[in-house]
């Protein structure tokens, strides 16, 4: 086969592949670009409870759920946002966390922002504070997986992100 024929076949193969991939490329913008203008917010959804070791009181653990309004996807990936604050301060509805969750939902993700057990401000952060917060985050993920059908959640695509202590 001549070099010219080989080049022609390669060009035809590349052109054909690009035509075939074009619908997939267009679809892939769902999670990259904001395609939903409205976000539905469900505040203070209980996902579990745990004893706060400092108050000895059972604390209800809550999350805010952000969903793209008008989304018809059967199974969406989920972003779990965990706030920072040195394990003694911070809330799931802080302005930065709200913005990240809204922007994720506008791109087609199910986004949640969770609260977790906090220590008193006067105490030092210890290993146990980190473990308690991690347990609370894991409880949120278990709750999401348990409710995947009603949330239209892809339980195999859950990511957790946060800042500082989160």
Angle at 17 between CA 11 and CA 23, to 5 degrees: 140
In contact, 136 and 126? CB cutoff 8 Å: no
Residues paired with residue 117 on neighbouring β-strands, in sequence order: none
- φ, ψ dihedrals at 89, nearest 5°: -145, 175
Using one digit for the tens of pLDDT, what is the confidence trace for 71-120? 999 999 999 999 999 889 999 999 999 999 999 999 999 999 999 999 88
pLDDT grade, residue 18 (50/70/90)? very low
Angle at 57 between CA 127 and CA 59, to 5 degrees: 75
- Structure pTM? 0.81
In contact, 39 and 105? CB cutoff 8 Å: yes
């Amino acid at each position: 086969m001549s070099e010219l024929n080989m080049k022609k076949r390669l060009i035809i193969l590349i052109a054909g592949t690009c035509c075939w991939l074009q619908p997939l490329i267009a679809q892939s913008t769902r999670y990259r670009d904001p395609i939903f203008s409205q976000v539905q917010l469900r505040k203070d959804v209980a996902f579990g409870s745990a004893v706060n070791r400092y108050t000895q009181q059972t604390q209800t653990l809550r999350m805010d759920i952000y969903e793209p309004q008008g989304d018809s996807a059967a199974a969406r990936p989920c972003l779990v946002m965990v706030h920072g604050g040195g394990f003694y301060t911070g809330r799931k509805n802080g302005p930065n966390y709200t913005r990240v969750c809204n922007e994720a939902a506008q791109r087609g993700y199910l986004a949640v922002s969770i609260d977790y057990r906090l220590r008193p401000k006067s105490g030092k952060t210890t290993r146990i504070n980190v473990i308690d917060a991690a347990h609370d985050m894991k409880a949120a993920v278990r709750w999401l997986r348990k409710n995947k059908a009603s949330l239209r959640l892809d339980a195999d695509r859950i990511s957790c992100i946060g800042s500082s202590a989160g």
